[in-house]
């Protein structure tokens, strides 16, 4: 039998420890769904619990996604310092269409898809407004699910989702999900009628509304203060 020297034994022990070390969690794709249906992304043990109310047809929300989301995800959520719960304050049919598509495959893929929708907002909203204007009478006579499917096709939101690898049948199924439609309608009523948020985006830090924090420059100082 081959005998190992002390150095060999130490090396083997070190290798075993490395192999046994648990993988570091990727908090950006670690999520859960609350009883009210909103997605919470990040470490459950995060010191700061951030809640964001957003609307996909809101230009200020798109600006926040561009200016603040990369830093928020990299320096706060990914490091386990903060979790983020997203609640939808849906304002119109295109907004509802976008929200259903963003949420289609659950919380693990949500943040990436949400940012992608905001990044392309100028394109799909321009197409969508033109489409809705040209087809207003026809859309008004349609049931909710077929109208959402038409809106996704006419605005380009469907094409955006196909670019992520989503199958057309999957997109149609998500847009036709009546339970999700009602859930998002209920979230909107809670946001606007019960909590009476001042607009979107609106942020709550550990349960308290952060006033006038619609931009990353305004949100970062109270976020950092809550981590001290």
- In Å, what is the CA distance from 93 to each residue of 99, 108, 202? 10, 25, 20
Give domain limits for the chain: 27-227
Residue 7 has pLDDT above 80, yes or no: no
Rounded CA gap, 49 and 1, in Å? 58
Cα–Cα dist 132/110, whole Å: 26
Quote the CA–CA distance of 76 and 205 in Å, as a whole number. 13
Distance of alpha carbon 220 from alpha carbon 213, whole angstroms:
9
> In which residue are the tokens 């304050």 written?
89
Which long-range CB contacts under 8 A does 122-131 form with residues at least 24 apart?
A: 122/62, 123/156, 124/94, 124/98, 124/155, 124/156, 124/157, 124/160, 125/57, 125/94, 125/155, 127/154, 127/155, 127/156, 128/94, 128/154, 128/155, 128/156, 128/157, 129/94, 131/155
Q: Is the pLDDT of residue 1 over 80?
A: no
- CATH homologous superfamily of 27-227 equals Glutaredoxin (3.40.30.10)
* Token pair recorded at residue 77: 């959520």
- Per-residue pLDDT of 178-228, as tens digits, reads 999 999 999 999 999 999 999 999 999 999 999 999 999 999 999 999 999
Q: Residues 13-52: pLDDT tens digits?
A: 555 444 555 678 899 999 999 999 999 999 999 999 999 9
pTM: 0.89
Report the pLDDT value the prediction gives residue 8, as an integer from 0 to 100: 54
At a CB cut-off of 8 Å and minimum separation 6, what does 221 contact?
Answer: none
């Amino acid at each position: 039998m081959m005998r190992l020297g002390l150095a060999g034994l130490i090396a083997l022990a070190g290798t075993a420890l490395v192999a046994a070390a648990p993988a570091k969690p990727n908090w950006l794709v670690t999520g859960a769904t609350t009883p009210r249906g909103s997605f919470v992304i990040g470490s459950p043990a995060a010191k700061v619990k951030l809640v964001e109310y957003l609307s996909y047809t809101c230009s200020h929300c798109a600006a926040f996604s561009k200016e603040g989301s990369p830093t928020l995800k990299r320096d706060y959520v990914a490091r386990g310092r903060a979790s983020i719960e997203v609640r939808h304050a849906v304002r119109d049919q295109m907004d509802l269409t976008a929200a259903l598509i963003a949420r289609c495959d659950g919380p693990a893929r949500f943040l990436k898809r949400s940012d992608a929708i905001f990044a392309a907002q100028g394109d799909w909203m321009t197409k969508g407004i033109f489409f809705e204007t040209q087809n207003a009478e026809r859309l008004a006579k349609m049931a909710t699910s077929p109208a959402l499917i038409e809106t996704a096709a006419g605005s380009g939101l469907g094409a955006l989702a196909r670019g992520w690898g989503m199958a057309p049948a999957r997109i149609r199924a998500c847009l036709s999900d009546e339970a999700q439609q009602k859930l998002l309608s209920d979230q909107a009523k809670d946001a606007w009628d019960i909590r009476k948020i001042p607009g979107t985006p609106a942020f709550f830090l550990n349960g308290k509304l952060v006033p006038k924090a619609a931009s990353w420059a305004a949100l970062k100082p109270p976020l950092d203060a809550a981590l001290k």
